[in-house]
Amino acid sequence: MTTAPPARRPWKRAAAWLVLLGPLFYATYGFANWWATTRANVPSMAFEWERHVPFWPWTIFPYWTINAFYALSLFLARSKHALDRHALRLLTATIVACTCFVLWPLHFSFGQPPVDGAPAFLFNALRGFDQPFNQAPSLHIALAVILWDWYRQFLKPLWARLVLHVWAFAICASVLTTWQHHFIDIPTGALLGIFCVWLWPLERVVAMPRAWRTTRDPQRWKLAGFYAVGAALFLAAALYGGGIALWLAWPAASLALVALNYAGFGARGFQMDGHGRMAWAARWMLAPYRLGAAINAWLWTRSLPASVEIVPGLRLGRRPTRAEWLAAGRPRLVSLCAELQLPAGVPHARCVPILDLTVPPTVRLQRAAAVIEGQRRNAGGATVWVCCALGFSRSAAAVIAWLGRYGAAGGVAQAEDTVRRARPQIVLRDAWRVSLEPFEPLQEVPPHDR
């Protein structure tokens, strides 16, 4: 039996990307620097404690290594798909950062002391094209995050990954110890890098720009507006309060992304996989929102049982903790939650993500019912636990859909009564019932009609 030859790396395409990205970086970065020099007053944003950060000239060496790792990264791609997504991350970071530098120029407020010896050459080379502007978000940090995520896919041994983590940390710390950036530039640069990783996933899934579908659902637009207002309020509080209040820009960005998910990206924007685990970039981007969603779920369900039995072998409830999952006898989980992960290390879990407080199309409920049926058939006698954040709407509708299609409920109305008797707190608006209308028991076709 012959095996197919390994796919050739896209060397020429990588070289073409480098030819584009290199000059573009220097052109846009240089323009932003020049633009800042033409402004009469360029502000600075620094904390008083930053004056105590030591100046370590030798850290210019890890600072400069990012250039070599940047160029090399393009030639490590094993496929055109991965190469293009990685290059688009680098391109997006450059364009967004330089746009910020032009719209909101900042400068580094204390000058660097004289440097002697070997580091002096690298500092002089850096000053040849870099001025004390182009601060927030730090493009250096954004690129370090993107490159860290890129290189870790090639490193399997633990020691190699530790080296990568140390290198990435050294890169990020060096922007402070070389007195190139103020602290505010680091979290904003990291947020930009994480955003680029979220925007262009390396996996063979639809990238976020192509995932956009403007919705006509008024409920989704209402929720998008609600989260957009929340984002604006957090951002205003961050800018007005200054200092430590600037951290409120993180929940502002998180809520803004949630608003975009409701407006067009849909559940895909949360990047939840089929096993109920969220991509790392989405976890960090959405961390403030996810914390709020988890607290809200706890407040609503803290006095309720984690799950209730609907029919033998099928339970309905909130998203369980690992302790609750273990206490329930390690059931097979089916999650309808787009915004909250299932516990780590739970085998055979499945997820059909649906946006909270929205009614999905019938086809999505058909998918959820089919997944529940598949879990039951493969459970080997184990219980199946269907859940969402609260266990009130999305998961309840999925169980009703399963009962109406596969169970012995006798139709959707009787299925809803069955679920409501077990869990009276379920909330199903009229729109849910419209989406559930097509679900009726599958009729066995008589042999003579087949």
**pLDDT tens digits for range 293-311:** 999 999 999 999 999 999 9
Average pLDDT, the chain: 90
Question: What type of residue sits at position 442?
Answer: L
pLDDT score, position 73: 95
pLDDT score, position 264: 94
pTM: 0.90
Which residues lie closer than 8 Å to 261 by C-beta, 6 or more apart? Answer: 267, 269, 270, 355
In this predicted structure, the answer to whether residue 99 has a pLDDT above a threshold of 80 is yes
Note the residue count of the chain. 450
What is d(CA 371, CA 351) in angstroms, rounded to the nearest whole number? 8
What is d(CA 424, CA 418) in angstroms, rounded to the nearest whole number? 10
- With cut-offs at 50, 70 and 90, classify the pLDDT of residue 8: confident
pLDDT score, position 122: 84
268-281: average pLDDT: 95
| 98 noted as active-site residue | no
How many helices and strands in the chain, by DSSP H and E? 17, 5
More confident position, 409 or 379:
379
Written as six digits, the tokens of 422 are: 């077990």
- 406-409 own/partner pairs: CB under 8 Å, 24+ apart: 406/369, 406/372, 406/373, 406/441, 406/442, 407/311, 407/441, 408/441, 409/441
Helix, coil or strand: residue 315: strand
Q: Where are the alpha helices (DSSP H) in 343-385?
A: 362-378
What is d(CA 369, CA 356) in angstroms, rounded to the nearest whole number? 18
- With cut-offs at 50, 70 and 90, classify the pLDDT of residue 9: confident
> Starting from the edge strand earliest in sequence, which strands make up the sheet with 332-337, in order?
307-311, 314-318, 384-388, 332-337, 350-354
**Exposure on the CB side of residue 149, measured as CA atoms within 13 A:** 25
> Among residues 128, 224, 134, 246, which one has the least CA distance to residue 181?
134
393 to each of 118, 387, 398, 428, how far by Cα in Å?
65, 10, 8, 6
> Among residues 312, 340, 319, 286, which one has the least CA distance to residue 392?
319
257-271: average pLDDT: 95
In this predicted structure, the answer to whether residue 130 has a pLDDT above a threshold of 50 is yes
In this predicted structure, the answer to whether residue 219 has a pLDDT above a threshold of 80 is yes
pLDDT score, position 319: 96
pLDDT digits (tens, 9 = 90+) for 310-342: 999 999 999 999 999 999 999 999 999 999 999
Domains of the chain in start order, with CATH, are 11-204 (no CATH), 218-296 (no CATH), 304-437 (3.90.190.10)
